[in-house]
Amino acid sequence: MKKEYKFKIENVVYPWPSQFITGAEVRTVGPGIPANMDLYLKIHGKVGRLVKNEEKIDLEEPGIEKFYTQDSSSTAGVR
């Protein structure tokens, strides 16, 4: 039986078929994450860190990976 991996985006759990997922792949899951939003990975007990599109995240790590988004700093305050 093949192992199924899971991760969260804004507290919604999503299944993933392989051990690794890239930032770009995370952006395509669920409703999707637009390019003008920054993607972050929250690590328990630490400050979230920015995830680049080409970065691979290992879903085998203990616990469930939690991703969240914020407006890109390059557009913050621009109207």
Closest to 7 measured CA to CA, from 31, 30, 36: 30
Per the domain annotation, does 13 fall within a domain? Answer: yes
| One-letter amino acid of 75 | T
Per the domain annotation, does 78 fall within a domain? Answer: no
> CB atoms < 10 A from the CB of 68, how many?
16
- The sign one gets for the Cα dihedral 6, 54, 48, 10 is negative
Tell me the pTM: 0.84
Alpha-carbon distance of 70 to 20, in angstroms, equals 23
Per the domain annotation, does 79 fall within a domain? Answer: no
Per the domain annotation, does 27 fall within a domain? Answer: yes
Which H or E run includes 6?
A: strand 5-9
User: In tens digits, what is the pLDDT along the chain, a chain of 79 residues?
Assistant: 678 899 999 999 999 999 999 999 999 999 999 999 999 999 778 889 999 999 999 999 888 899 999 988 654 444 4
Count of domains for the chain: 1
Q: Which domain holds residue 43?
A: 5-71
Per the domain annotation, does 53 fall within a domain? Answer: yes
Per the domain annotation, does 14 fall within a domain? Answer: yes
